Structure 1
Amino acid sequence: MKLILTRHGLTEENIAGIIQGHLPGKLSKEGIEQAKKLAKRLKSERIDAIYSSDLARAADTTKEIAKYHAHIIVNYVQDLREKFLGPWQGKSKEELGFGKETSLTSVTCEVGESTEELFNRASQFLQTVLKKHSQETVLMVGHNGINRALIAALTSKTHQDLRTIEKLKNTSVCIFEIDENKNYTIISFNCIKHLK
């Protein structure tokens, strides 16, 4: 199996430093251009299935990619949503007393999703996809936190290791080859050559 993992384009909220979580998010002008460049990069890939977060920022990025893969019905799923951050959503890190570089995968909001819950959601979804598409190429379009959780699950790490996985850039591409024993090879990681 080949897994292509990417993050949505830059949003207005990313620029403003606003925590999005389960909020839809709106691609910025630059984010729309990033999505179009990502789509061109992936247009020659043989893709058998596409899964996308159903949140607008990821769905809008996916729609650009899907233009080149019109034969595929996109599966918009809640499992690929970003970490739910309850009342923190819509606020800036500064408003909440966090530094700009604080990773939200390493903190927990009392009424939000814990990092362990995020990891478990990612792990369960990944196992379902691996089983269903064991001989196919799958594209997943998600968010920084959920994608890092998917990578942790794939690479046999735990939820405690999420903070050790580097932040994924907007529209970055990670490609993994996965064999029948679930051994993986990293082909590409956090690659944004399409934006250069």
Structure 2
Amino acid sequence: MNIYLTRHGQTEWNTQGRLQGWQNSPLTEKGRKDAKLLGERLSKIPLDIIYSSSSQRALDTAKIIKGNRNIETIIDDNLREINMGPWEGRILEEIEKENPVEYFNYWNAPHLYVPLKGGEYFEDVQKRSVAVIDKIIKEGKYKNVLVVTHGITLKNILNYYDNKAMENLWDTPFIQGTSLSKIEVRDEGIHVPFFGDTSHLE
């Protein structure tokens, strides 16, 4: 089984440096164009199913990637981005100024990060998102699966299957919008052959 994973395309809040989390902003022209380029790259792969986060930016990205192909899309709340509580919709600089300790840990020591009221721990995101992938693997119904999700959710999934500790979450490269990662499930085990590949965008 091959599980391909991507992050949604660039959004308006991405360009403004605002955190989105469970909130949403529309895809930019670049975000739509990049999703189309990823769709062209994946057109050579016979996808059996698409799993998407329920956030509109992910659903829109999935729809563009799918194009005219008749592929079922399963929508799952557990593939949503980390809930950032009161940080959502706010600019990074403001958050850093008001909550310096939490902000530092968020970007530098994820295993020590304690969210403000209403937010999620990184471990919460990993638990719910990995449960989705585990279910896909255990059911074993598909050969090629596409998962459309978000940056931190994607990092948590890949970190888990690459057997890395939570404190190493940010060690791997930044996940660009519509970059492609892959989890290979074989008889001998599960591994991550590539992570955040953007060759279709360059």
What TM-score results when the alignment is normalised by the length of structure 1? 0.90
Shift of the 184–135 alpha-carbon distance from structure 1 to 2, 3 Å rule, reads farther
Task: Judge conservation of contact 1:119–1:159 (CA < 8 Å) in 2.
Answer: no
Establish whether residue 150 from structure 1 lines up as the match of residue 183 from structure 2: no
Cα distance per residue 1:119-143 (max 9 Å; x no partner):
1112222211111236511110111
The number of residue pairs the alignment matches comes to 194
Counting aligned pairs with the same residue, the percent is 29
Structure 1's unaligned 5+ residue stretches are: none
AA of the residue aligned to 2:156 = A
The residue type equivalent to 1:103 in the other structure is: W
Residue aligning to 1:85 = 84
Map residues 3-42 of structure 1 onto 2, 5 A cutoff: 3-42=3-42
2:9 is paired with a residue whose SS is: coil
Q: Give distance in 2, aligned partners of 1:133 and 1:182.
A: 14
> Aligned partners of 2:58 and 2:31: how far apart in 1?
11
Check conservation: 1:80, 1:146, Cα contact below 8 A: yes
Secondary structure of residue in 2 paired with 1:157? coil
Asked if structure 2 preserves the Cα contact closer than 8 Å seen for 1:88 and 1:109, the reply is no
Q: CA deviation at 1:53?
A: 0.7
Tell me what 1:133 maps to: 140
Structure 2 residue aligned with 1:117? 124
Letter in 1 for 2:167: Q
Alpha carbons of 1:105 and 1:18: their partners in 2 closer, same or farther (altered >3 Å)? farther
TM-score, normalised by the number of residues in structure 2: 0.87
Match of 2:198 in 1: 192
Q: Which residue of 1 aligns with 2:187?
A: 180
Q: Identify the residue that residue 53 of structure 1 maps to in structure 2.
A: 53
Does the alignment pair 1:103 with 2:110? no
For residues 71-118 of structure 1, what are the alpha-carbon distances to aligned partners after superposition, in whole Å with 9 as ceiling and x for unaligned? x21011111100000111000111111699973983442220001111
Say whether the 8 Å CA contact 2:23–2:89 is kept in structure 1: yes
